[in-house]
Amino acid sequence: MFAQPLKSLPAITLALSLSSLTMAQEPSASLPALSAQANQTSVSGLSSGAFMAAQFHVAYSSKLVGAGVVAGGPWNCAGSNPLIAPITTAVSTCMDPCKYSWFGCPSNLYPNSGYLSDLAKTTAGLGHIDPIENLKDDKVYIFSGQKDKTVVTGVVDTTAEFYQKLGLADAQVFYNSSIEAGHAFITKDPADTSCAKTEPPYINNCEIPQAQRILTHIYGKLKPASAKPTGELLRFNQSEFIDSNLTSMDSDAYVYIPKSCKTGQCRVHISIHGCRQGISEIGTTYIEDTGYMEVADTNQLIILYPQVKKSQLMPMNPRGCWDFWGYSSNNLPPYIYYRKDAPQMLAINRMIDRLLSPAVQVSQQ
């Protein structure tokens, strides 16, 4: 049903070696406890990862200080119309609502930010997500490319509206929709795809270091990024954090640990890839090319890269997207993909808790 619309979501067939980084070899290591700073965690993502970032930010707002949403809609976008199945809304209302419209493009085809903000308050009142008041001092970075025909700017507009209707001040929400970028995470690397295109690997050179911009908006002034990562990119066993066979999550994931974060408290940022950008599809291209590690190196940031892979049935996720419409319940009600107890969000939260846990000191004999 949704395979055709999802073809336009991020896809890539290239892989990049990790010769410049310290790598864990098979079998995968365990995610270490690093005594990371509590209440200094943030999240960002591209495309389906952006929808997940918004969902996770709202659901776990008591633990987070901000979010970056690049080409993504608001929390529970797929629930914008309670009369329509979320899977249908996800590939229409939440992407390009007017693509197949014969009657122009009225505003009611787009996500209803007013309805969703009210729904968030109700959902918080039921205890399914954290209290909305936690969001009011957070920072949110939002981006939409003018040439993005996958998740169009009108959809991303409603993400900004959603946060504003929940009480975030204008200064807390930075929204850039002025760049003629395609559907991509953007960088200032001349080796990346030209800015206006929408094509693999969906990482475009628009002369903007987006990773640095996201993290600066959330945390304030940061030191310049390093020229080359010098920390450890650790492949770890992600499956130990998963307790459902419907998550479509990969068995492994990655975490980047700067040298300074092995001996001192660091903040945590979760970077969530888009569809067909997981390690099972493209190796570490998204991890290495988006620029997060370089910023992390000089600013005491641990970067967590959770991973999803494609699955054909049980659940149906043929493009390896994050769940923002309900495949983790086989597209059947009751839908919980937007709640704290959603399988993917539970897994990510457990990974954060591990990083926040006191580091184990090994005595020297």
pLDDT at site 12? 32
pLDDT at site 27? 66
The yes-or-no answer on residue 47 being catalytic is yes
Contact 258, 267 (CB under 8 A): no
282: left (phi over 0), alpha (psi -120 to 50) or beta: alpha
List the catalytic residue out of 96, 130, 138, 148.
Answer: 148
pLDDT at site 282? 94
pLDDT at site 105? 82
List the catalytic residue out of 8, 80, 183, 273.
Answer: 183
pLDDT at site 359? 87
List the catalytic residue out of 47, 48, 92, 329.
Answer: 47
C-alpha span between 135 and 56 (Å, rounded): 12
pLDDT at site 207? 98
The yes-or-no answer on residue 183 being catalytic is yes
The yes-or-no answer on residue 251 being catalytic is no
What is the mean pLDDT, run by run of 10 residues, along the chain of 365 residues?
Answer: 39 34 61 96 98 98 98 98 96 93 82 98 98 98 98 98 97 98 98 96 97 98 96 98 96 97 92 96 96 98 98 92 97 97 98 94 48
Length of the chain, in residues: 365
DSSP annotation of 327 reads G
Q: How far is CA 222 from CA 101, 211, 226, 229, in A?
A: 45, 12, 12, 16
C-alpha span between 235 and 223 (Å, rounded): 27
